[in-house]
């Protein structure tokens, strides 16, 4: 095991898969000569050349669509969005083409592609740069949505995503890139659709994903200090999410708290809450609660943004309400 950053984990995943399969290439803004806006692609240009590490103009719609065409033809593009908030100018490509073409062609064409980049707030860059669109894309039937919280999962899931024959939307985080963690030295794949148990406890189940997992972990530690222990489930994959692992925990704790950074209306937590109440109604001792981003556009002001994001204080308040 080596201790590396989340950023290095992603970099290793791409390098290993590009080494393994010549049809894999990386395309996006500043991925090559600049070495990545967040240095995730550092060194890849030098190693694989400009044919396979492709700098683009600021043209998300065109390069996303170009990647769709390349995938239809049989290549395996990795498309980097400098920020998922910038993907919206390519929304047509992502929804109508990535989301429909396999189905609409009667299954004739596959789209083995990964769209990846950071999402979420916390860096004071304002409402247009702080979106969490995971749930929006999860609403499209053919899309797979992955959001790892730890370096090991970032590497193992990105490798699985690149090898998947289906389009995977892969959500990273600016706050996550510098996070360090142990990652196995030998090659490994993390299965898409399986959650990770971050800590165990019998009083309460907390489900989270991406950077919010770390906030939830801090809250669970604080809760422990007050004598209550939470199961913390890091989804890793938002769609398809690991219902069975959640069910197993809820049948033990009978209480469910969902922590998600996106805005509340129809966020992914709402789907989980629906499924759990529908299938585990008799196991619940309290209403399911969700701690989400507050229902306003992201403010620039740092103190306000800290309140808008799911934070330890709000998670603890919700936990106490559930346990009361």
Partner 1 sequence: MVADDPGVAVAEPNAPASSLSPEIQIGLYRQMVRIRRFEEKSAQAFMRAAIKGFCHLYIGQEAVAVGALSALEPRDAVITAYRDHGVALARGTSARACMAELLGKQTGCSQGMGGSMHLFDREHHFYGGHAIVGSHTAVAAGLAFAQQYENTGGITLCLLGEGAVNQGVFSETLNLVSLWKLPIVFVIENNDYAMGTSVSRSSAGLPLVNRASAFDLAGRVANGMEVEEVRAKVAEAVSLARTEHLPTLLEVNTYRYRGHSMSDPDTYRTKQEIEEHKKNDPILRYRQKLEEREILSDALAKQIDAEARAEVQDALTFAEQSPEPDLALAFSLPFSPEDQIDPIPRPRYSDI
215 is written with which tokens? 């906030």
Q: Which of residues 217-256 bind partner 1 (CB under 8 A)?
A: 240, 243
Q: Which of residues 130-159 bind partner 1 (CB under 8 A)?
A: 141-142, 144
Of the candidate residues 9, 101, 223, 233, the single one contacting partner 1 (CB under 8 A): 101
Of the candidate residues 28, 36, 65, 299, the single one contacting partner 1 (CB under 8 A): 65
Question: 3 or 279: whose CB is closer to partner 1?
Answer: 279
What are 256's strand-pairing partners? Answer: 205
What are 204's strand-pairing partners? Answer: 230
DSSP string, 79-104: EEPSSGGGGGGGHHIIIIIITTHHHH
Q: Which of residues 178-197 bind partner 1 (CB under 8 A)?
A: 189, 191-193
Q: Phi and psi for 79 in degrees, rounded to 5?
A: -105, 120
Stretch near partner 1 under the rule CB under 8 A, chosen from 1-9, 65-73, 121-129, 300-308:
65-73
Of the candidate residues 39, 42, 61, 277, the single one contacting partner 1 (CB under 8 A): 61
CA neighbours closer than 13 Å in the CB half-sphere of residue 286: 18
129 a catalytic residue: yes
Of the candidate residues 8, 85, 147, 164, the single one contacting partner 1 (CB under 8 A): 164
**Which of 17, 29, 60, 80 is an active site residue?**
60
Give yes or no for a contact between 154 and 107, defined as CB atoms under 8 angstroms apart: no
CA neighbours closer than 13 Å in the CB half-sphere of residue 123: 15
Of the candidate residues 46, 59, 307, 321, the single one contacting partner 1 (CB under 8 A): 59
- Please state the closest distance from residue 8 (CB atom) to partner 1, in A: 22
Of 87, 81, 85, nearest in space to 56 by CA: 81
Of 105, 28, 101, nearest in space to 71 by CA: 101
295 burial via Cβ count (<10 Å: 0-12, 13-18, 19+): exposed
Of the candidate residues 74, 184, 287, 297, the single one contacting partner 1 (CB under 8 A): 74
Of 254, 213, 253, 256, nearest in space to 236 by CA: 213
State the sign of the Cα–Cα–Cα–Cα dihedral 260, 263, 264, 268: negative
131 a catalytic residue: no
Question: 36 or 65: whose CB is closer to partner 1?
Answer: 65
**Which of 17, 80, 129, 305 is an active site residue?**
129
Give yes or no for a contact between 147 and 238, defined as CB atoms under 8 angstroms apart: yes
Distance of alpha carbon 208 from alpha carbon 181, whole angstroms: 19
Distance of alpha carbon 197 from alpha carbon 235, whole angstroms: 9
Stretch near partner 1 under the rule CB under 8 A, chosen from 49-57, 116-124, 175-183, 306-314:
49-57
Q: Which of residues 22-41 bind partner 1 (CB under 8 A)?
A: 25
Asked whether position 70 contacts partner 1 by CB under 8 A, the answer is yes
Stretch near partner 1 under the rule CB under 8 A, chosen from 39-47, 62-70, 282-290, 315-323:
62-70
Q: Give the residues lining the site for partner 1 (CB under 8 A).
A: 25, 51, 56-57, 59, 61-75, 92-93, 96-97, 101-112, 141-142, 144, 160, 163-166, 189, 191-193, 240, 243, 271, 275, 278
Active site residues: 60, 129
């Amino acid at each position: 095991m080596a201790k590396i950053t989340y950023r290095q984990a992603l970099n290793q995943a791409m390098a290993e898969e590009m080494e393994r399969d010549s049809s894999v290439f990386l395309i996006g803004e500043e991925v090559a000569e600049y070495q990545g806006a967040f240095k995730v692609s550092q060194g890849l240009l030098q190693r694989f050349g400009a044919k396979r590490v492709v700098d683009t103009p600021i043209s998300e719609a065109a390069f996303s669509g170009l990647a769709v065409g390349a995938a239809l033809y049989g290549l395996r593009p990795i498309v980097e969005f400098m920020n998922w908030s910038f993907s919206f100018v390519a929304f047509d490509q992502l929804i109508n083409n990535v989301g429909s073409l396999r189905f609409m062609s009667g299954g004739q064409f596959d789209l083995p592609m990964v769209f990846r980049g950071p999402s979420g707030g916390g860096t004071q860059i304002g409402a247009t740069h702080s979106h969490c669109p995971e749930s929006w894309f999860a609403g499209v039937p053919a899309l797979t949505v992955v959001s790892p919280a730890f370096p090991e999962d970032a590497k193992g899931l990105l490798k699985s995503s690149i090898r998947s024959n289906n389009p995977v939307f892969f959500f990273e985080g600016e706050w996550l890139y510098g996070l360090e963690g142990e990652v196995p030295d030998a090659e490994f794949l993390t299965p898409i659709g399986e959650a990770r148990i971050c800590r165990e406890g019998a009083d309460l189940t907390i489900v989270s994903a991406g950077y919010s997992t770390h906030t939830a972990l801090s809250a669970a530690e604080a809760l422990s200090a007050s004598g209550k222990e939470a199961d913390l489930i890091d989804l890793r994959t938002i769609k398809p999410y690991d219902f069975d692992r959640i069910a197993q925990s809820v049948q033990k704790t009978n209480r469910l708290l969902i922590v998600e950074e996106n805005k509340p209306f129809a966020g992914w937590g709402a789907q989980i809450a629906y499924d759990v109440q529908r299938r585990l109604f008799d196991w619940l001792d309290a209403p399911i609660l969700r701690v989400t981003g507050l229902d306003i556009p992201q403010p620039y002001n740092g103190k306000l943004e800290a309140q808008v994001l799911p934070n330890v204080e709000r998670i603890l308040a919700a936990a106490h309400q559930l346990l009361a």
